[in-house]
Structure 1
Amino acid sequence: MKRRITYIQHPDAPFDAQQAALTSNSLTIHNLEAAREDRLSFDLDDLPNELRNVLQQSQDLRLRWATERPFDAIEPFASRVSPGLHVQYTPLDPTQSSEALCSLLRTAFEADESGLNGVNCTTPEETFITPPPQAAHAGAAASLQYHTELPSLKSFVDYIEQVFCDWLKDRSNECSGTAKSLLAADTVDLDYDSSSNTLVLSGLWSTAPEGGWSQEIKTPSSKSDKVEFGLLGADRGISADEIKIGGLLAVVGEDKKLKPTMFSFPSRHHALPQSAKYSVSFAQPTGLHPTMSITIPHSSLHRPSAPDDTTCSLHTYLILPSSVFGDQYQLGTTDAIFLQSHNLAGLRAHSGETDLEAPDWAVNRWGSTWLFELATPAENEFTTERSDWTATVPLHLRYLKPSESGYRPAHVPWPVVFWACSAEDREVGMGMNPFDRTNLGYDKLFGPRTFFYQLHPETDRLVETVDIPVFHLKEGEGYFQTRNIELGTTIVISLGFFWILWRLLRVAWSSGVGVNTTHKTDARHKKE
């Protein structure tokens, strides 16, 4: 196992040399104000059998989880995804069933006591969605995609402690402590690809707990294990696409003192200033045709400080559950009047469930994804004070089962909003970034030389709740009980069927009598 612990301090954060102490067998930090990334790499032999068997059937498997709490995305950890659990999966052999993956996901991300907020997956072929054609350029085989609401990682932490930590018997205490720390993480990633046969678990904490980070990192007990430590600061590089990193590095148990370092690299993701914010809301009352509004201050609509030879445009990437969907024909229009009325430049990609008529209980797949390019004001409009700029996306709700309240909630994660700046005319070595984060869903819909500049969501919770009106049903009261409605529906359909049959028989009988009478009249005329 290889572990890399990285602390990124803000340039204005206080630091005393006594806060980090390295000895021959441990490294200790005290009250450190910084963002933290913890990354663990495992060979297949280090993994429990059930997990190893699933990975051996996978060409690649990527899990991305983000909290519903707002958090600061600072460089070099500037990338964002919508809250919830995202899964991207490419089977090693597409002809074989992948039921084992769904079984593992249901176990590791078990539903809570209410029966909600878990993985509802049978097989990837039935439940996952196929990515848009635009994602094909990213590789020979495009990964299947899945998303579900997951406010907490408690079930995942329990799974790690009960299965994984038990497997690592000699490191169970350390494993359990690391697992529990994920409950406070802002993002958690799992990455596996068959070319490296390595599983990488990453957790990110964008801010320190109260009082700062205090941690003792001991020398690994096994010679095959390795722990790397970094106490760094990030700043803009010489080039507009670069990030400069400087600070102290050490390998715990090998180095006798912290070593100074300084390096820079092109970065795929960049954080805009904290003033570059956006908010999301739904017009009330929503009815069955809600409209999502994405509101952005005019100060956040200026082109980012990307390289001059790049072409930039503002985008948003929506993740919609199966109960909420968009009309691909309406949203994919090129009608200038429609697009201008919603401040949209156009629909650039979409995938997933788009059946306009199916009720939610008839939909097998989890939902859909939508990439929109947003329109921005003309340059001369920035010179005057204007209200916030709002882009709107008209959506639709599926029919859901009746409820006693007359409503059922749909939880829609906030979309990410970002500037995408393409540099297709020159080479960019983004693979040099040791903190690079890919396979976020939207990044594959752009060219490999695209920079992303993330706006910051302004909210207390990164999920919107939409109350979907359904049939008001009070079980056990009055005539409107489930069995009475089912019986009444059956009776009405049966009566309708027999009425249509009776009308058809009458028409047939009347036609038959008329034909016979005509034949007899004609025969009489011939005899005369």
Structure 2
Amino acid sequence: MQSSSLLHAESFHPIFKTRILAPDSKNCSLHLHYFLPRSVFVDPYELSNRADDYSFQYIGPSNLELPVAALRQDAALLLSIVRPLSDDGILDVEVPLHMRYGPAALGSSFELTELPWPDAFFACPHKSASSDRLPLMLRDFAILFDKTDIMRLEPPSGAIPFEMIRTPVGDTAHVARVELGTAIVMLAAFFYLLRATLRTMRRMSIVTLPAKEE
């Protein structure tokens, strides 16, 4: 069985926490597969710091700074869990997430993003044709499990298998003032740098003559 929840769900940096409750499956590997909507991304460098917990493979946009409106595809993440289950058969897996800036909306200050729970499953050495079907995933991930038996870990009965992230967005009513303020600040910075550059050039143009030898 598996269940998921979000920590800091009303921020740009939520953490997706999944609890695995299962008997120890020897010779089997535990995996979590995530579908990430366009407004959500993971930082591969940040995930690399969790090598004691899991290794990962990621397919999706590589530019982490792009706004939602500039993207045309969702992303997918596959974790291969390294840390073993506890003696009680429990394991908590945390994935740090980041939210992209959403488009401004008139009179709206927050945007809701639906994030599905990951699919959790054991991949075991192939013994028979009677195993659970592999969760829906991209072909690049699916081929990794061609010769394995799959044992899926289902959510608790009656659970709603997704979470909602609530992140702030801009109000289009404020766009004109923001653009004007930005333009003023940029012009002020330009003239300050221009003045500093001219003063530096004048100082550098002053040539100090060497002292006369006696």
Aligned to 1:103: none
Q: CA deviation at 1:416?
A: 0.8
- Distance in 1, matches of 2:57 and 2:112, equals 27
RMSD: 3.0
- Distance in 1, matches of 2:35 and 2:103, equals 22
Aligned to 2:61: 353
- Distance in 2, matches of 1:291 and 1:373, equals 18
Native 8 Å contact 1:294 1:391 kept in 2:
yes
Aligned to 1:499: 192
Aligned to 2:138: 441
Aligned to 1:59: none
Native 8 Å contact 1:352 1:365 kept in 2:
no
Taking a change above 3 Å as real, the CA distance of residues 283 and 447 of structure 1, as seen in their structure-2 partners, is closer
Q: CA deviation at 1:335?
A: 4.5
Over residues 361-409 of structure 1, what are the superposed CA-to-partner deviations in whole Å (9 max), with x where a residue is unaligned?
Answer: 34x242321111233325xx23xxx8x5422111111222344342111
Residue in structure 2 matching 1:394, options 96, 103, 107? 96
- Distance in 1, matches of 2:134 and 2:36, equals 23
Taking a change above 3 Å as real, the CA distance of residues 502 and 302 of structure 1, as seen in their structure-2 partners, is same
Match of 1:331, SS state, is helix
- Distance in 2, matches of 1:416 and 1:329, equals 23
- Distance in 2, matches of 1:500 and 1:322, equals 38
- Distance in 2, matches of 1:410 and 1:285, equals 10
- Distance in 1, matches of 2:50 and 2:134, equals 33
Native 8 Å contact 1:291 1:394 kept in 2:
yes
- Distance in 1, matches of 2:120 and 2:162, equals 15
- Distance in 1, matches of 2:163 and 2:40, equals 12
- Distance in 2, matches of 1:406 and 1:440, equals 34
Q: CA deviation at 1:467?
A: 0.5
Taking a change above 3 Å as real, the CA distance of residues 446 and 507 of structure 1, as seen in their structure-2 partners, is same
Show the 5 A alignment for 1:277-316. 277-297=1-21, 300-303=22-25, 311-316=27-32
Taking a change above 3 Å as real, the CA distance of residues 437 and 451 of structure 1, as seen in their structure-2 partners, is closer
Native 8 Å contact 2:24 2:85 kept in 1:
no
Native 8 Å contact 1:326 1:354 kept in 2:
no
Residue in structure 2 matching 1:332, options 48, 52, 56? 48
Residue in structure 1 matching 2:201, options 494, 504, 508? 508
Over residues 118-156 of structure 1, what are the superposed CA-to-partner deviations in whole Å (9 max), with x where a residue is unaligned?
Answer: xxxxxxxxxxxxxxxxxxxxxxxxxxxxxxxxxxxxxxx
Over residues 172-212 of structure 1, what are the superposed CA-to-partner deviations in whole Å (9 max), with x where a residue is unaligned?
Answer: xxxxxxxxxxxxxxxxxxxxxxxxxxxxxxxxxxxxxxxxx
Residue in structure 2 matching 1:371, options 61, 66, 78? 78
Show the 5 A alignment for 1:249-264. none
Q: Which runs of 5+ in 2 are unaligned?
A: none
Show the 5 A alignment for 1:74-113. none
Match of 1:446, SS state, is helix
- Counterpart residue type for residue 454 of structure 1: R
Taking a change above 3 Å as real, the CA distance of residues 421 and 414 of structure 1, as seen in their structure-2 partners, is same
Q: CA deviation at 1:352?
A: 0.9
- Counterpart residue type for residue 377 of structure 1: L
Taking a change above 3 Å as real, the CA distance of residues 406 and 396 of structure 1, as seen in their structure-2 partners, is same
Normalised by the length of structure 2, the TM-score is: 0.81
Matched, 1:468 2:162: no
Q: CA deviation at 1:328?
A: 0.8
Native 8 Å contact 1:327 1:354 kept in 2:
no
Aligned to 1:483: 176
Q: CA deviation at 1:437?
A: 7.6
Match of 1:457, SS state, is coil
- Counterpart residue type for residue 154 of structure 2: H
Structure showing greater radius of gyration is 1
Native 8 Å contact 1:347 1:373 kept in 2:
yes
Count of residue correspondences: 208
Q: CA deviation at 1:282?
A: 0.3
Q: CA deviation at 1:504?
A: 0.2
- Distance in 1, matches of 2:164 and 2:120, equals 19
- Distance in 2, matches of 1:334 and 1:296, equals 17
Taking a change above 3 Å as real, the CA distance of residues 376 and 286 of structure 1, as seen in their structure-2 partners, is farther
Taking a change above 3 Å as real, the CA distance of residues 393 and 412 of structure 1, as seen in their structure-2 partners, is same
Normalised by the length of structure 1, the TM-score is: 0.36
Taking a change above 3 Å as real, the CA distance of residues 447 and 284 of structure 1, as seen in their structure-2 partners, is closer
- Distance in 1, matches of 2:163 and 2:55, equals 22
Structure with more relative contact order (C-alpha pairs < 8 Å, separation 6 or more): 2
Residue in structure 1 matching 2:112, options 384, 394, 409? 409
Q: CA deviation at 1:470?
A: 3.1
